[in-house]
Amino acid sequence: MDHALKFYINGEWVDPVQSPVTTLDVINPATELPFTKIAMGTAADVDKAVAAAKEAFVSFSQTSKEERLALLKRILEIFIRRSDEMGAAISQEMGAPLAMAKAAQAGSGTAHLMEAIKAAEIFEYAYMQGTTRVEHEPIGVVAMITPWNWPINQIAAKVAPAIATGCTMVLKPSEIAPVSAILFAEIMHEAGVPKGVFNLVHGDGPNVGVALSGHKDVDMVSFTGSTRAGVNVAQTAAPTVKRVHQELGGKSPNIILRSADLDKAVRTGVARCFGNSGQSCNAPTRLFVPQEAMDDAITIARDAAEKFRTGDPTAAETDLGPVVSQLQFDKIQDLIQAGIDEGAELVTGGTGRPAELNAGYYVRPTIFARVGHDMRISREEIFGPVLSILAYDTLDEAVEMANDTVYGLASYIQGDLKEAQALSKRLRTGNVYINDAPWDGAAPFGGYKQSGNGREYGVFGLREFVEIKGIVGYEE
C-alpha cells in the first residue's frame, strides 16, 4: 500500500518521527502470511498528531451545522465509491468472507455515515430553557482507539459523530487490521476534511494507546476493545480527568421461551453466534433452552452448525473465515478444551482446525450442551464460533443466570412478543434483540457493567461528543 509506512497528520501523509522506523507485518489470517507492513508510532507521533488536532479545533469547532453536514455527505459519497475496495481490504486483514466483508463490514461504514447525517440534521445543538440558553458544544480533541473485529464499523461509528459535532480527532486503529483505516484516511483526504481535523497514527497499545489515553491535550478517549484493555485506558486517562467512552466485552444470553418455534429459534441462535466467526462483542454465545427441550435443541443445533462451511474467505461458498490471529486461535482452543475438561457435552466441533484445512487460523464451529453455569465456557468471552447451550426450568432461573455475569452488552429473546417485551425489562444489558430483529443503526449501542459506558449510533452517538454549556441570562 502506498501509505502503509506513513501516518496521516495535519492533512498530509508523513513519515514517523522516529528513525529508523519500526515496522510490523500485517498477517492475512487465512494464509498466516504477511501481505504488507505498517510503521509503528511512538509518543512523539502522538504529540504531533494531537497538536495538529488541537490547532484545528479552534476553527473547526466554530463551523456551522450546515458546513459539517456538507462535509459528511462528501465523505459518504466517496466511501460508497470505494466500498468494494474497503470490503476486500477488511477480508484480507481480518479474514471475513469477502461477500460478508463487502456487504456487512464495509456496509456498516456506509450505514453509520448515513445515520450520523440524519442525526445531525435533527440534533438540537442549542435551545432556550426559560432565559437560559443551553448549548451542546464539541468536547474537543478526541482519541479514538478501535478494534480489529469490525474495523470500519467502529471507525465510522466514532468519526462520523465527531465530525457532526465539530470535534477533531486522532485515530489509532488496531495494528492487526490497519489497512481499512488507511483507506478511510484516503477517503477523508479526498473529501477535503480540513487539515488537522482527522489524524491517523498506527501503533500498539503500550506505546501509542497509552500516549493518547494520558495525553494532556486530549479531551476524550473513545475506546472499543476488551474489558481488560478498557480498564487500562480508564486508569491512564484518570489523572487528566478526561471523558472516557468505552464499548467493551460481552457474554450475551439468548433466551428461547417455551412459546418459541424451537427449530427456528435454535437455528437463528447458532447463526447469530457464529456470524463473523464468532468475533462480535454482542454475539449471543449462551443459549438458554427449557430443560425439557434440551435433547431436541441439541439435535437442531448440531444440524445447523454442521451446515456452516469454513474456509477460504475469497470463495463464494464460504460461511466462516478464520479468526484473526494465532493469539486468538490459541485462546479459543484453550477454552474449547476447558469445556471438554469440565464435562460439558461436546455436540459438534472441538479443538484443532477443520480436517480439510492445513493453514490459517480456522476454528471448527463448536457446540457445547448441558453446560454448567459456572463453567469457563459459560463465564468467559471466547470470541470464536463456540456456542454454549444451558437449560432452565423456570423463567426466573433463566433471567438469574443471564444476568449473573460481569458483562451487560446485549441479550436476545425468542418467543411470544408480549412475553419477550415483559422479559426485556428484566435483563441487565444495553441492548435487547427480540425475535431476530434486524440491526438498527440508529438504536443506542453500548453496555452495562463491565461492557462499558456511554452509547454509540445515531443521535445517541452525537451526545457522547458534546459538552453542555448553560448561558444564564442569555435573554431577559
Residue of 175, 247, 381, 456 marked active site = 247
Q: Is 475 a catalytic residue?
A: no
* Beta bridge partner(s), residue 286: 253, 388
User: How far, CA to CA in Å, does 37 sit from each of 26, 82, 85, 175?
Assistant: 6, 22, 18, 10
Listed residue (467, 463, 462, 472) closest to 129, CA to CA: 472
> How do strand 243-247 and strand 220-224 relate by DSSP bridges?
parallel
Any idea what the Cα angle at residue 464 is, between residues 463 and 465, rounded to 5°? 90
Round to whole Å and give the CA distance between 170 and 113.
18
**Residue type at 368?**
F
Instruction: Look at phi and psi of residue 140 and say left if phi exceeds 0, alpha if psi is from -120 to 50, else beta.
Output: left
CB 305 within 8 A of CB 270: yes
Round to whole Å and give the CA distance between 381 and 427.
18
User: How far, CA to CA in Å, does 108 sit from each of 9, 80, 143, 155, 186?
Assistant: 25, 11, 21, 10, 18
Q: Is 66 a catalytic residue?
A: no
CB 49 within 8 A of CB 9: yes
Any idea what the Cα angle at residue 101 is, between residues 99 and 104, rounded to 5°? 95
| Grid coordinates of 2 | 502506498
Round to whole Å and give the CA distance between 388 and 279.
15
The SS3 of residue 422 is helix
Residue of 93, 175, 281, 381 marked active site = 281
Helix (H) or strand (E) holding 230: helix 227-237
Give catalytic residue positions: 247, 281
